[in-house]
Structure 1
Amino acid sequence: MDQFEHQMIPTNNIELSLYTTGPKSGRPVWLLHGFPECWYSWRHQALALAAQGYHVHIPEVRGYGASSAPEAVDQYDLITLCADIQGAMNHLGHEQVAMVGHDWGAPVAWHLALLEPARVKAVCGMSVPFGGRPRQPAINMMREAYKDRFHYIVYFQQPGLAEAEMAADIPRTMRLMMHGLSGTDGDNSLVQDKPADSRWLDDYIDPGTPPAWCSDEAFAVYVKTFEQSGFHGPINWYRNFERSWQRTEALAGKQIEQPALFLIGDRDPVGTLEAYTIKKMPNVVPRVEQRVIADCGHWIQAEKPAEVNAELLPFLAQHFPAG
């Protein structure tokens, strides 16, 4: 923790909590976390990048930790989330950057590459691929497909329910999420065989400890993050599929033309859910390099940090060298 500096950045009508490390003269690399994660999930990559001479920037994205967490649902659409980072880059004077994102941070990274082709010189997405703008909002298809069965994203659409359930016992919630999507500690069914109006986490047994890849120190940072901000902001990200679809109309049909890297664990359930998108990804990201990390689940940068760094650092050295 003492290797990181912290500051609050005014951007896009909010305050963005930002952690940095590495030489201030180094080229900036942004690391965007997902749900339910925190900035500290990037610690292994941040220190490795700093050692290579990069100036690493890790925000607590909107709704998390010390960053602003507006109450209104419509304050969390994809274009707004991108604008937070764009404003922060403007504030810091960043003219050229590399953008890296995991889970929900990946769509933000992909769309920043589309919105900022001159500034984002290289982009990496982990776990969530880019497939272009769909023909309709994904939530419409989910509601139709799972109208009689439980699906966590459909459940998230009901204001107040998911955040209250998750906040009732934050350490338990984090343990269940970490173990449930981990490649070494079990599997998680995102579509459970129970009624559509069920609660999410009732049927899971608390493993009692974090998975092996999450130290007690790291787990404490995760828990503190959500004790500080709660879950209403993060869950609101999921309530903006339709609004994000509407606000990205101008990007329909556009390709990500920068050098790109996509990483996913071979045990990540997203790989099954998004198999078609991953296969077709080169059609919309022509310069993408795709890599699968063995024996790895969803929390890729924490589960397999050495393997992720072995892919990420050479990619950046080639397309966005530190010096």
Structure 2
Amino acid sequence: MTTAHDVDVHHGRAWVDAAESVRIGYTVATPPEPTKTVVLLHGAPQTRYEWRKVMMPLAAAGYRVVMPDYRGAGASDKPRDGYDKWTMAGDIHTLVREVLGVEEPVSLVGHDLGSTVALGFALRYRADVVSATFMEAPLPGTDYYRRRMAQKSAWQFSFHANPDVAVYLVHGRERWYVNRFFDELTYQPDAISNGDLNVYARAYEAPGAIRAMCEVYRELDRDAEDNRTALREHGKLTVPVLASGGAANPLATNFLDMCEEVADSATGQLVPDCGHWVAEEQPAYFTKMFCDFDAAARVR
């Protein structure tokens, strides 16, 4: 059985877009003989630190675990442009294929905004994906995304889509702003400590970090157009898709129908006693849920 002592954990930064001088920060956890690869894409206001509780269990299950900070977050560069999800997916594809040398199709897991990047990856690089898990996000291009954007409770989408206003109002208040999302959306408050919140707050206090996060949001309507075009021209995803989220989130009941808009085969499974931050609030449940789903996907 693979133990933590057997897993090689490597942290790095790599050029993924030399033309724009963009570097991506990442962590890779590799068991002695990895048989498969999973790419974990974090949400906002988070970084790859989001996956700290599930990294070793997934490696113990035989996965090479790739955890990037997507463009604009954490240790990654924060350029002015390039926050449409097809470009961001290209960053991740270059990291996985050219930098890390992963040759086999990968399993994708996206949480929150990471799900929008994961969808862009799955639509753009269909042959390189064996399964996709989307958690806790309205996927651009779906009817649910359109309905969700019209709801008052989705205020942050419109707010962040105006970067100059958002950056001006949040500047100097980043720590309070980050904490506010966790205070509102957490079901298991002890799952995320003050120390954990400090990690995220420091990441978004960094120069350019809040603006970069806003740019990720600002491009979502463009992403919707890109995704609709890809679905119209090439059809739905044919790989198995898992639609998941915290069962304590009343919006989570929409996730399966939403994923059926983009995938031929979608399975819904909500995480009990859990809010928005699935991998942090219920890491053991998430790990088993994902491993069971992905194992079934790989024998199709």
Give me the TM-score of the superposition, normalised by structure 2. Answer: 0.84
Q: Which residue of 2 aligns with 1:51?
A: 60
Distance 1:283-1:165 versus aligned 2 partners, 3 A rule: closer
Residues 270-309 of structure 1 correspond to what in structure 2 (within 5 A)?
A: 270-271=251-252, 275=254, 278-279=256-257, 281-309=259-287
Shift of 1:120: 0.7
Shift of 1:71: 2.0
Contact (CA 8 Å) 2:256, 2:266: kept in 1 or not? no
Deviates most, 116-125 or 236-245: 236-245
Shift of 1:159: 2.5
Q: Which residue of 1 aligns with 2:77?
A: 68
Distance 1:242-1:263 versus aligned 2 partners, 3 A rule: closer
Structure 1 distance, partners of 2:141, 2:154, is 26
Q: Deviation string for 1:200-229 (max 9, x for gaps)?
A: xxxxxxxxxxx3111344223212222335
Higher helix content, 1 or 2: 2
Q: Which residue of 1 aligns with 2:16?
A: 11
**Among 246, 250, 259, the residue aligned to 2:240:** 259
- Larger relative CO (CA 8 A, sep 6+): 1 or 2? 1
Shift of 1:169: 2.6
Q: Which residue of 2 aligns with 1:41?
A: 50
Distance 1:24-1:244 versus aligned 2 partners, 3 A rule: farther
1:225 aligns to 2:233 (yes or no): no
Distance 1:20-1:162 versus aligned 2 partners, 3 A rule: same
Q: Which residue of 2 aligns with 1:198?
A: none
Shift of 1:281: 3.2
Distance 1:320-1:223 versus aligned 2 partners, 3 A rule: farther
Q: Does the residue aligned with 2:201 lie in a helix, a strand or coil?
A: helix
Structure 2 distance, partners of 1:242, 1:291, is 27
1:171 aligns to 2:149 (yes or no): no
1:212 aligns to 2:212 (yes or no): no
Shift of 1:150: 8.9
Look up the equivalent residue of 1:94 and give its one-letter code: V
Distance 1:102-1:4 versus aligned 2 partners, 3 A rule: same
Contact (CA 8 Å) 1:33, 1:103: kept in 2 or not? yes
Contact (CA 8 Å) 2:241, 2:259: kept in 1 or not? no
Distance 1:120-1:265 versus aligned 2 partners, 3 A rule: same
Residues 62-141 of structure 1 correspond to what in structure 2 (within 5 A)?
A: 62-72=71-81, 75-91=82-98, 92-95=100-103, 96-128=105-137, 130=139, 133-134=141-142, 138=146
Deviates most, 40-49 or 158-167: 158-167
Shift of 1:25: 4.3
Structure 2 stretches lacking a partner, 5+ long: 1-6
Q: Deviation string for 1:39-59 (max 9, x for gaps)?
A: 111112211111112111101
Structure 1 distance, partners of 2:280, 2:154, is 29
Contact (CA 8 Å) 1:129, 1:262: kept in 2 or not? no
Total equivalences in the alignment = 285
Look up the equivalent residue of 2:245 and give its one-letter code: I
Q: Aligned Cα RMSD in Å? A: 2.9
Structure 1 stretches lacking a partner, 5+ long: 185-210
Residues 134-149 of structure 1 correspond to what in structure 2 (within 5 A)?
A: 134=142, 138=146, 142=149
Structure 1 distance, partners of 2:37, 2:277, is 24
Percent of aligned positions that are identical: 26
Distance 1:150-1:222 versus aligned 2 partners, 3 A rule: closer
Q: Which residue of 1 aligns with 2:30?
A: 22
Give me the TM-score of the superposition, normalised by structure 1. Answer: 0.78
Q: Which residue of 2 aligns with 1:193?
A: none
Structure 2 distance, partners of 1:164, 1:242, is 23
Q: Does the residue aligned with 1:118 lie in a helix, a strand or coil?
A: helix
